[in-house]
Amino acid sequence: MAVLVYTETLNGNFKKNAFEAVSYAYDLAEKTGQPLVAIAFNAESCDALFDYGVNKVLHVKDENLKMFNARVFAQVIADIATKQSAHTLILSATTDAKYMGGILAAKLKAGFVPNVMARPLSIEPLVVKRMTFSNKGFAHTRINTDFRIIGVSNNSFGLVENKVDGSIEELSTDVGDSDFNTRSVNVERVTGKVTIADADIVVSGGRGLKGPENWGLVEELADVLGAATACSKPVSDMGWRPHSEHVGQTGKPVACNLYVAIGISGAIQHLAGINASKVKVVINTDPEAPFFKAADYGIVGDAFEVVPKLTEKLKEFKAQNA
Partner 1 sequence: MKILVCISNVPDTTSKINFTDGDTKFDSNGVQFVINPNDEFGLTRAMWFKEKQGAVVHVATVGEIQVEPTMRKALAIGADEAIRVNAQPTDGFFVASQLAEVVKQGGYDLVIAGRESIDYNGGMVPGIMSELLDMSFVNTCIGLEIEGQNATASREIDGGKETIETTLPLIIGGQKGLVEETDLRIPNMRGIMMARQKKLTVVEPTDVSPATEDIKFEKPAPKGDVKLVDAGNIDELVSLLHQEAKVI
Site of interaction with ligand FAD (CB under 6 A): 206-208, 232-235, 248-251, 263-265, 267, 269-270, 273, 283-286, 289, 302-304
> Smallest Cα–Cα separation from 255: which of 88, 20, 9, 8?
20
Residues belonging to the chain: 322
310 lies in the binding site for partner 1 (CB under 8 A): yes
Per partner kind, with CB cut-offs from 5 to 8 A, the member of partner 1, ligand FAD, none near residue 135 is partner 1
Per partner kind, with CB cut-offs from 5 to 8 A, the member of ligand FAD, partner 1, none near residue 113 is partner 1
Scanning 32-40, 132-140, 155-163, 206-214 for contacts with partner 1 by CB under 8 A, the matching segment is 132-140
114 lies in the binding site for partner 1 (CB under 8 A): yes
123 lies in the binding site for partner 1 (CB under 8 A): no
Residue 246 beta carbon to ligand FAD: minimum distance, rounded to whole angstroms: 6
Q: CB 82: neighbour CB atoms within 10 A?
A: 12
Scanning 40-48, 134-142, 157-165, 205-213 for contacts with partner 1 by CB under 8 A, the matching segment is 134-142
For residues 175 and 112, give the distance between their C-alpha atoms in angstroms, rounded to a whole number.
Answer: 25
306 lies in the binding site for partner 1 (CB under 8 A): yes
Per partner kind, with CB cut-offs from 5 to 8 A, the member of partner 1, ligand FAD, none near residue 144 is partner 1
Per partner kind, with CB cut-offs from 5 to 8 A, the member of partner 1, ligand FAD, none near residue 212 is none
Residue of 23, 115, 156, 232 that binds partner 1 (CB under 8 A):
115
User: With contact defined as beta carbons under 8 Å apart, do 282 and 298 qualify?
Assistant: yes
For residues 170 and 151, give the distance between their C-alpha atoms in angstroms, rounded to a whole number.
Answer: 25
CA distances to 37, 66, 68, 96 from 63, in Å: 23, 5, 11, 18
The residues that bridge with 41 in the sheet, in sequence order, are 60
85 lies in the binding site for partner 1 (CB under 8 A): no
Taken in order 234, 235, 236, 240, the sign of the CA dihedral is positive
Query: Where in 264-303 is the site for partner 1 (CB under 8 A)?
Result: 268-269, 272, 275, 278-279, 281-282, 292-302
Measured in degrees and rounded to the nearest 5, phi and psi for residue 207 equal -60, -20
For residues 265 and 282, give the distance between their C-alpha atoms in angstroms, rounded to a whole number.
Answer: 9
